[in-house]
Amino acid sequence: MLLRELGEFGFINRISEKFKSIVIPETTGIGDDCAIIRKDENFDYVVTTDMLVENIHFIRSKITPFELGYKTLAVNLSDVAAMGGNPFGSFLSVAIPADIELEYLDDFIAGYKHLSEKHNVTLLGGDTTRSEKHIALNVTVIGIIEKNRARLRSMAKEGDIICVTGFLGDSDGGLKILLENLPISENEKYLIKRHNNPVPYVNEGIWLASQNGVNAMIDVSDGITSDLKHILNASQKSAVIEIDNLPISQQLEAVYKKYGFDVIKSATSGGEDYKLILTIDKNRFSKIAEDYKTKFGNELFEIGTVKKGNIGEICWLKQGEKFNGLHEGFNHFRCS
């Protein structure tokens, strides 16, 4: 069997099965946005790691080194945010090809430092090595969270309201503009920024995890079609999603209308938005959403409901009717 036939998540599950016999007490490993490791009687560590590889996750000519440094940390902070953790330290490892100038690396570190300072996350170490051709970047972030406060993918309950913390599809729109070399006006600039400079919802994640009634959380890295299914599979639930309720920015609507692109496809299957998807007890949703808007000035967008049904199944509705033909989200190694 070839790796592309198994797919990214099948490969992860294959690895995970081999380590089930090695159990560390009070530790949660593979299967969520972060690992959870006991710190003491009152707190746990949350730890995540992620890799960005040139021409897979970014194109060097389409992103400034400052933006790349920023994004490299942002995608990891987003994982900590999805658990409700408070990040405090990172490790950065880089593989550098010979054609990279020192000024490029200085700008990269400046971008990394800019986001580090914003969230008070210190660089604790890492590694450097030579690469034959492409840049490869790996970051590990460590955070802390009050014991039993981490929000897991397995915590969704029947009847929960499914919501997201912001617009969907903007990053995918920005990527499409870059790949197709489209003319760049203000709307296009906005979408490109959303792709190159994603905002990790760190403070929002910390606050949401402190609210009774907030159950499962995950960040949108591969598109809600894939990421919501992680919650549903882990929680052994299904869902109904109202496509008409998906939050879509005016900029994405305008650009996609101009070029005839499929806005629903990007909103459901486009990755790297790094918004949070969460499920909230239906009886507490209104109060939590109201308090969230008061505190952060933004909406919690209600898009659907957690159901019993077939595990992992999403029923998509558009104007009350079943809607088929949606694409899966991003999956490394997937067979085309």
Boundaries of every domain in the chain: 3-146, 153-322
Pick one of 3.40.50.300, 1.10.3720.10, 3.40.50.261, 3.90.650.10 as the CATH number of 153-322. Answer: 3.90.650.10
Residue 304 burial (CB < 10 Å; 0-12/13-18/19+)?
Answer: buried
DSSP state of 194: H
- Strand 136-146, strand 276-280: pairing: unpaired
- Beta 136-146 vs 86-97: how paired, if at all? antiparallel
Write out the two tokens for 40: 């003491």
- pLDDT of 12 reads 65
Q: pLDDT (tens digit, 9 = 90+) per residue, 8-55?
A: 767 767 877 777 777 777 778 777 889 999 999 999 999 999 999 999
Contact 112, 70 (CB under 8 A): yes
- pLDDT tens-place string over residues 77-87: 999 999 999 99
**pTM over the 0.95 mark:** no
Give residue 310's pLDDT band: very low, low, confident or very high (50, 70, 90).
very high
Q: What angle do CA 15, 18, 23 make, to 5 degrees?
A: 115
**Is pLDDT at 331 greater than 50 in this prediction?**
no
CATH topology for 3-146? Answer: 60s Ribosomal Protein L30; Chain: A; (3.30.1330)
Using CA atoms, how far residue 204 sits from 196, 212, 231, 270, in Å, is: 21, 14, 19, 22
